[in-house]
Structure 1
Amino acid sequence: MDQTKDTAASRQADPADGAGKGRTAPGAGAAAGFAYTAADEEKRRGVRRMKLTATGLLLFVAVVYVLATWAERSGITGWPGYVAAAAEAGMVGALADWFAVTALFRRPLGLPIPHTAIIPTKKDQLGASLGSFVGENFLSGDVVRGRLRALGIVGRVGAWLARPAHADRVTAELATALRGALTVLRDADVQAVVGEAITRRAEAVEIAPGAGKTLEKIVADGAHHRAVDLVCARAHDWLVLHGDSVMDAVQGGAPGWTPRFVDRKVGERVYRELLRFVTEMRDMPGHPARGALDRFLADFAADLQGDTETRARLERVKSDLVARPEVQDIIASAWSSVRAMILSAAEDERSELRLRARASLISLGQRLAADARLQAKAEGWIEDAAVYVVTTYRTEITSLISDTVASWDADQTSRKIEAHIGRDLQFIRINGTVVGALAGLLIHTLSHALGG
């Protein structure tokens, strides 16, 4: 039958000849993964063996038909007629199925018979039909939603994640991904972005009202008293250690015509009064100076919230402070510190970051596995997201199928498909021969029974 032509085609694709292995059609770069390989050629050898078997069976029934016909014409009655009828019908079935199977991949006997060589000539239409079929039957919202609901993804993920070993694995993978992301990021770019974001945020937000409210609450709660105690204590200690410096400063500011002993007496007096004042402030919580300081801070807090001039002055101070190179350097260096801290925590299995992440994952897994309401909510999110993707991008997904099939070389596609399913198709020829023979025998038997 078509055995000679098929063998020639197989020989062209034989890797041993150097022509078939890895060969792709011109312009079919997208189909490079669809190349005819040595594994395909091995499958094709199995197809050829099945073709020989099917063709051998056809030749066998042809020989049986010839012998049975000769016996019948030689005057032998009875069984030769039945055998000839069965063999004749078997040949018809075998030839019909050979034509049908061959017409899938090539033109039988090379004749331009319509509706033959279906795969090479209708490849693009078959790809489009396959894409449309997948889109209508697999990428519909109801199908996707029903399939996801049947899988119970959230409960399974929760049960899997609740196991400490799995949580450790996920934590390690997340740490690896985090380290990779931080390694890829350029420090200069991140520093520039962080600096610009902080500067823009600082310039856009007026800090005076918030600072005023905070200061007002601090004064109302008396939280500033410890700071005042600390300042007074440090001032007292400094005066005790640097009394000579204070007296020298007072004497240095005295007029030149005053006697030196008078300047010294005045300096000592000023120093003693200053030391007494600071000591009393330190030791007396109800000291008038402390009360005056409280009133000053309360008034300042009110001005920060309501006085336009005070608020404007603080904003100018803020802008000047943010614009200073030293502050910008601090902002830029903050990323380096944060990055180093995150990398160190990600690499240390016992770091607080990884321990907290592990505990959070286990807790999340336990909730997902046990909380039916949370499961339903999470599965609803997943289903909605999946349905949105398949309905919004259905055309793009199905076009991937049709475009990929269209990019394949027609002849190569035909050979590859035949290599994979041709062996089973040859059983159709064998079955056609057997079934045809049985049908012919049955028809001949019924004809004789009804006619005789």
Structure 2
Amino acid sequence: MDGFTLADEERQRGVRRMKALATGLLLLVAVIYALATWAEHQGAGAWAGYVAAAAEAGMVGALADWFAVTALFRHPLGLPIPHTAIIPTKKDQLGESLGEFVGENFLSADVVRTRLRAVGIGNRLGTWLAEPEHADRVTAELATALRGALTVLKDRDVQDVVGEAVTRRAEAAEVAPVLGRTLERVVAAHGHRRTVDLVVARAHDWLELHSDRVMNAVQGGAPGWTPRFVDRKVGERVFKELLRFVTEMRDMPTHPARDALDRFLADFASDLQSDTGTRARVERLKSEVLGRDEVQDLIASAWSAVRRMMVEASEDEQSRLRLRVRAGLLSLGARMKADRRLQEKVDGWVEGAVTYVVTTYRSEITALITDTVAGWDAQHTTRKIEAHIGRDLQFIRINGTVVGSLAGLLIHTVSRMLGA
């Protein structure tokens, strides 16, 4: 345990003042007893007997309560009387008893459920969250927690985990059937035709801009023994036919080449799902792609991009992320405030979670109390407890003196009346 604080020192001074007061009252009744006894022997009258009896009983009560209070913290007069110095000698047992008491009376499932049900957490939380300033506060706290978590995480470690998880997931799943089903739905819905339109249009534009390159390519592939003008005529003819084909395919939605492409894609989608050879080739291609360093770097760099985006969004009060979180909290608060069924659900979730924690870790919680008390120094603990409750205990001594005096006076009076 730590040393005495300034507050503990002030409490201890209050205890010493009360001790002095209680002891002074004991000395006072002792003096009164001595004077009353002397007066009675000197024939002062019957009143002296009454005063002496009251003072004598007051001394007895004061001494008895002094013994009881002192026995809590130390051996009275330093004598090793049994069942004294209770706190320093029974500290560990007191800690165990306190732990058991807390476990039985505060950490039971019935007590926790009853208390939480009486609180009405769902209604209170909904009412609290429905206030805009409270939603702003929660949003700000969540943003701070998010930034803190992202700051603590090391990019390299997260990138390794993300890369390994994505790669392992991709390798474990066969992609060919999924691609086949997707392609099949796209072809059935004619979703690919706009892509074909774009490719054909771009091909037509490219051919018009690069006609010389196409004709030169055809001429370059001709045999060396053919005349040059023949090669040029062949190149021009090939280019014109190619341009005509692309132009017709661009302008005719029902062009036979388009139908052939539809059939090819439909057959390819079927092969991806059912042809063993095609599926095996796709799997090999997938493994080759995943194994490339560029792909792994791309997967790893995704975390850096996501992290930077989330940090920036959490810092900007007007970011879409924070505005959506705030709006979601306000909406949730309004629903919880008005919807009794939702309140009951939230109450049930909270009760279940807290009850699980309490029932599962009750022994650990009570052990924390017991072990903490067991680790305290006995003498220091005694001083600490005495500083906190000793002042009130001194009132017991004062009350014992007063009550004892009244009891002694009453007994003496009754005895005189019965004797008369």
TM-score (norm 1): 0.91
Q: Which amino acid aligns with 1:140?
A: S
Q: Deviations over 1:187-243 (max 9, x none)?
A: 111111111111111111111111111111111111111111111111111111111
Q: Which amino acid aligns with 2:327?
A: A
CA distance in 2 between counterparts of 1:407 and 1:256 reads 102
- Which of 261, 266, 271 aligns to 2:229? It is 261
Give the corresponding residue for 1:246.
Answer: 214
What SS class does the counterpart of residue 385 from structure 1 fall into? helix
1:311 offset after TM fit, Å? 0.9
Give the corresponding residue for 1:339.
Answer: 307
- Which of 273, 278, 289 aligns to 2:241? It is 273
Is 1:134–2:91 an aligned residue pair?
Answer: no
Is 1:213–2:170 an aligned residue pair?
Answer: no
Give the corresponding residue for 1:169.
Answer: 137
CA distance in 1 between counterparts of 2:111 and 2:368 reads 20
1:131 offset after TM fit, Å? 1.1
CA distance in 2 between counterparts of 1:416 and 1:248 reads 102
Flag the structure with more relative contact order, 1 or 2, with Cα contacts below 8 A and sequence separation at least 6: 2
CA distance in 2 between counterparts of 1:344 and 1:412 reads 52
CA distance in 2 between counterparts of 1:259 and 1:326 reads 49
1:322 offset after TM fit, Å? 1.2
Within 5 Å, give how 1:310-325 maps onto structure 2: 310-325=278-293
Within 5 Å, give how 1:62-141 maps onto structure 2: 62-141=30-109
Q: Extract structure 1 runs of 4+ deviating beyond 3 A.
A: none
Q: Deviations over 1:63-111 (max 9, x none)?
A: 1111111111112222111111111111111111111111111111111
CA distance in 1 between counterparts of 2:5 and 2:150 reads 42
CA RMSD after TM alignment = 1.1
CA distance in 2 between counterparts of 1:353 and 1:210 reads 32
Give the corresponding residue for 1:40.
Answer: 8
Is 1:222–2:190 an aligned residue pair?
Answer: yes
1:350 offset after TM fit, Å? 1.0
Is 1:187–2:155 an aligned residue pair?
Answer: yes
Greater shift in the superposed pair: 386-395 or 80-89: 386-395
Is 1:52–2:20 an aligned residue pair?
Answer: yes
Give the corresponding residue for 1:61.
Answer: 29
Q: Deviations over 1:345-378 (max 9, x none)?
A: 1111111111111111111111222211111111
Give the corresponding residue for 2:346.
Answer: 378
Runs of 5+ in structure 2 lacking a partner? Answer: none
Is 1:403–2:380 an aligned residue pair?
Answer: no
Q: Which amino acid aligns with 1:299?
A: D
CA distance in 1 between counterparts of 2:325 and 2:210 reads 54
1:294 offset after TM fit, Å? 0.8
Percent identity for Structure 1 against Structure 2: 76
CA distance in 2 between counterparts of 1:421 and 1:86 reads 29
What SS class does the counterpart of residue 84 from structure 2 fall into? coil
TM-score (norm 2): 0.98
Q: Is this contact kept in 1: 2:74–2:85, CA < 8 A?
A: yes
Greater shift in the superposed pair: 89-98 or 257-266: 257-266
CA distance in 1 between counterparts of 2:145 and 2:209 reads 58
Is 1:295–2:263 an aligned residue pair?
Answer: yes
What SS class does the counterpart of residue 393 from structure 1 fall into? helix
CA distance in 2 between counterparts of 1:256 and 1:327 reads 45
Give the corresponding residue for 1:449.
Answer: 417
CA distance in 2 between counterparts of 1:206 and 1:198 reads 14
Give the corresponding residue for 1:363.
Answer: 331
CA distance in 1 between counterparts of 2:332 and 2:232 reads 77
1:307 offset after TM fit, Å? 0.8
1:320 offset after TM fit, Å? 0.8
1:41 offset after TM fit, Å? 2.2
CA distance in 2 between counterparts of 1:362 and 1:38 reads 46
Give the corresponding residue for 1:148.
Answer: 116
What SS class does the counterpart of residue 148 from structure 1 fall into? helix
What SS class does the counterpart of residue 260 from structure 2 fall into? helix
Give the corresponding residue for 2:398.
Answer: 430
Q: Is this contact kept in 1: 2:186–2:192, CA < 8 A?
A: yes
CA distance in 1 between counterparts of 2:199 and 2:384 reads 89
1:36 offset after TM fit, Å? 2.5
Q: Which amino acid aligns with 1:354?
A: R
What SS class does the counterpart of residue 406 from structure 2 fall into? helix
Q: Which amino acid aligns with 1:111?
A: L
CA distance in 2 between counterparts of 1:332 and 1:78 reads 104
Runs of 5+ in structure 1 lacking a partner? Answer: 1-30
What SS class does the counterpart of residue 36 from structure 1 fall into? coil
